[in-house]
Chain A
Amino acid sequence: MKFTINRNLFIENLNNVMRAISSRATIPILSGIKLDLTETELTLTGSDTDISIEIKIPVNEDLNVESTGSIVLPARFFSEIVKKLPGKDFSFEVKESFQTQIVSENSEFTINGLDANNYPRLPEIPDNAAFTISGKTFREIINETQFATSNDQTRAVLTGVRFFFNPTNIKAVATDSHRLSQRTITLENGPQAETDLIIPGKSLQELARIIGETDPEVKICPGDNQALFVIGNLSFYSRLLDGNYPDTDRLIPTEKTTSVEFDISELSSALERASLLTHAGRNNVVTLTLDTTNQTAKLSGKSAEIGNVEEDVSFRNLEGNDLQISFNPDYMRDALRASITDSVVMSFTKPLRPFVINPDKDDIEFVQLITPVRTY
């Protein structure tokens, strides 16, 4: 196996493959990156068993093939070496007993590789149920839901986002039992058949990073326990979570007794100020007091050791019953960060029941739920 390649082109692709490689790999060979060279393309593969990424670089003027073959190299070292090489191009040659020589200008590295035949094979996922969505839409829906997933590995299904891909829309729900985020986005041409997947939050985070600010097409191929996402020359394999995702539709209250509208930036800054104190104390709780007769909305927080804070927040359309409700300011901050409008409508039922945060525009289907905190 021998080739020369443009270093920048290689690094760009290498960085994406590195996302899948964990420094604490459970199987030693997975701490490596697999390079596989044919007459037509160079394939880079990285995996941590939950996520696998495969990138194909086609042969062109930046990639010259002298002889084909494959090798596994220690990923961290290899990537650090390539990033620090002096020249514009480098040459790569596998010698006897998996010794790999990397040469760029005056610098020459020889590192020990591993037999690529021992590298696990990626699952083969048929693309008969595949469909394509816009990367921008996919990234948006990830950013609006993924933050609400649970970190508790003992109930694995809640660490994922549940996606319903329908012919006309995508619906995604995530909850950690204290808060919930559900977003529905209309699609122009979704999948033919309805597809229901629970995708791990961590995979989605990496996918969103790979999609980035551009708007590539994302091809989604659902498999039995893995799903494949194809973005340009990159194939992203993610484990799917199995198990019964709880019915979340019934959690969303349909009635309300009090509702109020807040400007996101104003409420966020008020919350940040209150959090200065509440983060210091043992109970991270802020209290919102809504008085409909006097038309006031007050946000307060205290820490037994340090002191307290109280501030009037400006609002619009406060109606219904008076209410005092306490909640974790971090959940509210996350909810506001995920919001895409300038202001949100909050609807409450009872002081100890989850309350709803909606965008102020009816045509955006985005529901967030936060469970209040009991204060005694």
Chain B
Amino acid sequence: MDPYLKLQRLKETTENMTKTIASLENDILDTLKENTELKVENQLLHEKLDKLTANQPAPETKTQSGLESLKKIYDSGYHICNMYYGSHRDPSADCMFCLDILDNFGEKKGIKKDGR
């Protein structure tokens, strides 16, 4: 291929690339805008929710719900054990320490109560 043609091709490619960059830039701007809107909306909703929950009496089955939220955190892929708390978990392999908490936390509480 002659060098001039090559150069022309290169020019075309570069122009296309510039176009793509411009469009990506627009996309990013849109996403950022949406993100800010969502953040504000989220905050407003949270405030509303806090007001709603503040009016309600504290839930009675506290241990149960705590354990359940731990289970949710664990199932969504994070460690809940002392050793690895909050770090990302390999979703295919269970962690013994986490399982121990999920299995025995409620039970151990129960034993303590019985002992009193």
- In the complex the two chains form, is A246's CB within 8 Å of B82's CB? yes
- In the complex the two chains form, is A369's CB within 8 Å of B94's CB? no
Interface: A250 (CB within 8 A): yes
Show 28 A/B contacts (Cβ-Cβ < 8 Å), sorted by A.
A154-B87, A155-B83, A158-B83, A175-B96, A177-B83, A177-B96, A177-B97, A178-B94, A178-B95, A178-B96, A246-B82, A246-B97, A250-B100, A250-B104, A251-B96, A251-B97, A251-B100, A283-B92, A328-B93, A352-B94, A352-B99, A353-B99, A354-B94, A354-B99, A371-B96, A371-B99, A372-B94, A374-B94
- In the complex the two chains form, is B84's CB within 8 Å of A354's CB? no
Interface: B37 (CB within 8 A): no
Give a binary string over B89-116; 1 marks a CB under 8 Å from any A CB, 0 the rest.
0001111110110011000000000000
Partner-A contacts on B (CB < 8 A): 81-84, 87, 92-97, 99-100, 103-104
State in angstroms the CA–CA spacing of A32 and B62 once bound together: 61
Interface: A373 (CB within 8 A): yes
In the complex, chain B residues whose CB is within 8 Å of the CB of A371: 93-96, 99
- Name the residue on B nearest A250 (C-beta): B100
State in angstroms the CA–CA spacing of A217 and B84 once bound together: 38
In the complex, chain A residues whose CB is within 8 Å of the CB of B99: 352-354, 371
Partner-B contacts on A (CB < 8 A): 154-155, 158, 175, 177-178, 180, 246, 250-251, 283, 285, 328, 352-354, 369, 371-374
CB distance from B108 to the nearest CB of A (A): 9
CB distance from B96 to the nearest CB of A (A): 5
In the complex, chain A residues whose CB is within 8 Å of the CB of B104: 250
In the complex, chain B residues whose CB is within 8 Å of the CB of A250: 100, 104
State in angstroms the CA–CA spacing of A154 and B86 once bound together: 13
CB distance from A253 to the nearest CB of B (A): 9
In the complex, chain B residues whose CB is within 8 Å of the CB of A353: 99, 103
CB distance from A183 to the nearest CB of B (A): 17
CB distance from A283 to the nearest CB of B (A): 6
State in angstroms the CA–CA spacing of A328 and B93 once bound together: 9
In the complex, chain A residues whose CB is within 8 Å of the CB of B92: 283, 285, 373-374
In the complex, chain B residues whose CB is within 8 Å of the CB of A354: 94, 96, 99
- In the complex the two chains form, is B83's CB within 8 Å of A369's CB? no
In the complex, chain B residues whose CB is within 8 Å of the CB of A374: 92, 94
In the complex, chain A residues whose CB is within 8 Å of the CB of B81: 177, 246
In the complex, chain B residues whose CB is within 8 Å of the CB of A373: 92-94
Closest 3 CB pairs of A and B: A371-B94, A177-B95, A178-B93
CB distance from A239 to the nearest CB of B (A): 20
Other contacts beyond A177-B96, A178-B94, A374-B92: 20, CB < 8 A: A155-B84, A175-B96, A177-B84, A178-B95, A246-B97, A250-B104, A251-B96, A251-B97, A283-B92, A285-B92, A328-B93, A352-B94, A352-B99, A354-B94, A354-B96, A371-B99, A372-B94, A373-B92, A373-B93, A374-B94
State in angstroms the CA–CA spacing of A155 and B97 once bound together: 13
- In the complex the two chains form, is A369's CB within 8 Å of B93's CB? no
State in angstroms the CA–CA spacing of A255 and B68 once bound together: 24
State in angstroms the CA–CA spacing of A369 and B99 once bound together: 13
CB distance from A176 to the nearest CB of B (A): 9
State in angstroms the CA–CA spacing of A180 and B83 once bound together: 15
In the complex, chain A residues whose CB is within 8 Å of the CB of B93: 178, 328, 371, 373
- Name the residue on B nearest A152 (C-beta): B84
In the complex, chain B residues whose CB is within 8 Å of the CB of A352: 94, 99
CB distance from B21 to the nearest CB of A (A): 35
Q: A155-B83, A250-B104, A353-B103 are in contact. Are A180 and B94 (CB under 8 A)?
A: no
State in angstroms the CA–CA spacing of A207 and B83 once bound together: 28
State in angstroms the CA–CA spacing of A353 and B102 once bound together: 11
In the complex, chain A residues whose CB is within 8 Å of the CB of B83: 155, 158, 177, 246
In the complex, chain A residues whose CB is within 8 Å of the CB of B87: 154
State in angstroms the CA–CA spacing of A71 and B84 once bound together: 46
